[in-house]
Amino acid sequence: MRRIPLLAGTKVLIAAAPDDAVVVRPPAPGAAVADVAAAVRDALRFPLEGEPLEALVSRRSRATIVVEPPALPIPGSAADPRQPAVGAVVDELERLGIPSGYQTILVACGLARRTTQRELEALVTRGLARRFHGSVVVHDAEDTELVTVDGASRPPLRVSRAIAETDLVVVVSAAETVLHGGPAALLAASGADAQRAAGAYSLLETTASQGWHLALALERAVARRVPLMGVSLVLNHPRTSGAVRGYPYEPDALERIARSPLRRAFGALPDFARREILDSLQTELTAAAAFAGPPSVAHAEALLRAVELRRAELDAPLDAVVIGIPGTTPFLPRERPNPLLAAYLGLGLALRLWRDAFPVVEGGTAILAHSFTRHFAHPTQQPYRPFFHVARVGRDPELLAEAERTAAANARALEGYRAGLTVHPLLPFRDWNACQPAIGRLGAVIVAGAGDAAAVRQLGFVPAHGLSAALELARGRTSGDARIGYLLCPPYFPLRMRDYVSPR
């Protein structure tokens, strides 16, 4: 038997797996670019497609730099490569004749909580924060002054005035998924209705992604009004230090953590103490490459490179997959997740990061290791409460649609979002929608270690007392020997099926 450590909330579970179990580990972080700023400057001068930045700049014109909060990857790092990338764009614009006083940094938060003034400095280097004289605008998806750039689209595409009423737009992002970075950053600076419609069956394939197609349509609409360029970084997997160094990349690290005598002492600590220890761990995040060009072109190339660098491969679909769910939210600030956000991390993120084929057999089982306790951080997660007030929310689409219409018209919730206190009231419904591609392929979702069985059942899942009980339930759903995989995350990583042949 092998012992496999899994992060479940702030606890470390040790799964006793048979020797034939499939342990799915991401590859270790690859080689890093020595100077991110220099790589970005080179990319701007030699884009993959279209004219270099110098040809797009008009002297004494205005420029808007679109950035996203670094919600992905998980875990993140205080020293994020996107910070020097933004600085390099600011410097390059200044070199070409646009002083920083004529530049605007637009923070595209999507439907997540709007970034506060204190958090804005974390998006750039300290040096740039001190010398930047331009404007910093945090996007408001409910702004009544959003500019319609494509009225024929459904829903109509509206963007921030900082994008529509400028002389140049540069998008600076990292290639994480088809819904994070590149043209999706423009979509995160659009109206709430367009962002709510931005779904994807797989986060790594554009074919069945409504969000990618909406982002592409928005990119083309913006490009018809103003010169547009994108910079996309390829990020390596984050590298952690301290007691968890090497996890989850190195087999020796798994064994070391499983045998560590400190593990029991850590588990005996109260939740807040474990959370503080985990938050104090240092994480290193580096970039492997930088590309420039039209946002969709640069992003597509960077995403392909990221998949190749960070992927894990399977030789056949799994009958069941065990996913450890960390005690953090998929948006900033990092907080304790409520049950819906825990489900999103496993089903809407981990099980949507696939290419070519879904990693679990049709009708298979997903086991989410988390307590699923109904805890809603105040005030950030308050819009998630109405979601759980709807009876049989996971199984009655009519009730859910009515709850969504009510939430979208909730003046108090919208006021809290616009004030930067909480997420947009439509975000819980989009998060639940993101779980549906996986739920539609799975026969059951089992929550191992469920501390709130009512919340688990309300989402349509099956509660289990512990991981052993969940595995027994999963084996009982298969005929013969079950092929069970253990997905070691975070970080979340791409999954590809080895030698997969697309059905005709």
Lowest mean pLDDT among 75-84, 118-127, 296-305: 118-127
CATH number at residue 266: 3.90.226.30
Whether the CB-CB separation of 139 and 147 falls below 8 Å is answered with no
Helix spans in 140-280 (H): 161-164, 183-187, 192-196, 210-225, 251-259, 262-268, 271-280
Q: Which residue has the tokens 């969000």?
A: 211
Distances, alpha carbon 463 to alpha carbons 19, 340, 370, 386, 446, in Å: 26, 14, 10, 22, 6
Mark whether 348 and 397 lie in a shared domain. Answer: yes
Per-residue pLDDT tens over the stretch 29-78: 999 999 999 999 999 999 999 999 999 998 769 999 999 999 999 998 98
Question: Is pLDDT above 70 for 501?
Answer: no
CA quadruple 35, 36, 41, 44: dihedral sign: positive
Tell me the percentage of the chain whose pLDDT exceeds 70. 98
Mean pLDDT of 302-324: 95
Mark whether 21 and 75 lie in a shared domain. Answer: no
Whether the CB-CB separation of 50 and 294 falls below 8 Å is answered with yes
More confident residue, 120 or 287: 287
DSSP string, 344-404: IIIIIIGGG-EESS-SEEEEEEEEEES-------TTTTTTHHHHHHSTTTTT-HHHHHHHH
Mark whether 52 and 104 lie in a shared domain. Answer: yes
Mark whether 142 and 261 lie in a shared domain. Answer: no
Mark whether 13 and 118 lie in a shared domain. Answer: no
| 210-225 vs 295-310: helix crossing angle, rounded to 10 | 140
Mark whether 110 and 92 lie in a shared domain. Answer: yes
Q: Is the residue at 223 inside a domain?
A: yes
CATH number at residue 137: 3.40.50.11440
Q: Is the residue at 307 inside a domain?
A: no
Report the 10 Å Cβ neighbour count for 162. 23
Q: Is the residue at 248 inside a domain?
A: no
β-bridge mates for residue 172, sequence order = 231
Residues 6+ apart with CB under 8 A from 260: 243
Per-residue pLDDT tens over the stretch 218-258: 999 999 999 999 999 999 999 988 778 889 999 888 888 88
Which of 175, 200, 235 lies at the terminal end of a domain, its last residue?
A: 235
Measured between alpha carbons, how far is 395 from 269 in angstroms, rounded to an integer?
37
Per-residue pLDDT tens over the stretch 247-295: 999 988 888 888 888 878 888 888 888 888 888 888 999 999 999 999 9
Q: Is the residue at 456 inside a domain?
A: yes
The tokens describing 225, both together, are 């009004």
The tokens describing 60, both together, are 């004494």
Mark whether 43 and 169 lie in a shared domain. Answer: yes
Per-residue pLDDT tens over the stretch 368-396: 999 999 999 999 999 999 888 774 555 67
Question: Is pLDDT above 90 for 346?
Answer: yes
Mean pLDDT of 327-338: 92
Backbone phi, then psi, for 21, in 5-degree steps? Answer: -65, 150
Which of 450, 481, 475 minimizes the C-alpha distance to 464? 450
Question: Is pLDDT above 50 for 504?
Answer: no
CA quadruple 424, 331, 35, 101: dihedral sign: positive
Mark whether 321 and 430 lie in a shared domain. Answer: yes
Mark whether 198 and 321 lie in a shared domain. Answer: no
Q: Is the residue at 434 inside a domain?
A: yes
Whole-structure pTM value: 0.94
> What pLDDT score does 395 carry?
64
Whether the CB-CB separation of 305 and 332 falls below 8 Å is answered with no
Mark whether 16 and 101 lie in a shared domain. Answer: no
> What pLDDT score does 408 carry?
92
Per-residue pLDDT tens over the stretch 429-441: 999 999 999 999 9
Q: Is the residue at 187 inside a domain?
A: yes
> What pLDDT score does 393 carry?
53
Whether the CB-CB separation of 92 and 37 falls below 8 Å is answered with no
Which of 203, 235, 267 lies at the terminal end of a domain, its last residue?
A: 235
Mark whether 147 and 42 lie in a shared domain. Answer: yes
- In eight-state DSSP terms, residue 63 is E
Q: Is the residue at 304 inside a domain?
A: no
Measured between alpha carbons, how far is 305 from 327 in angstroms, rounded to an integer?
29
Mark whether 334 and 422 lie in a shared domain. Answer: yes
The helix or strand, by DSSP H or E, that contains position 3, with its residue range, turns out to be: strand 2-8
- Looking at the structure of the chain, the number of domains it has is 2
The chain-wide mean pLDDT, for the chain, equals: 92
Report the 10 Å Cβ neighbour count for 397. 9
Under the banding of pLDDT at 50, 70 and 90, the label for residue 354 is very high
> What pLDDT score does 113 carry?
96
Could you tell me the residue range of the domain that residue 325 belongs to?
2-26+257-281+312-497
> What pLDDT score does 199 carry?
93
Burial class, 479, CB count within 10 angstroms (exposed 0-12 / middle 13-18 / buried 19+): exposed
Whether the CB-CB separation of 453 and 438 falls below 8 Å is answered with no
Whether the CB-CB separation of 21 and 486 falls below 8 Å is answered with yes
N-term to C-term CA, the chain: 40
Q: Is the residue at 296 inside a domain?
A: no
**3-state SS class at 331:** coil
Measured between alpha carbons, how far is 485 from 125 in angstroms, rounded to an integer?
40
Measured between alpha carbons, how far is 366 from 346 in angstroms, rounded to an integer?
9
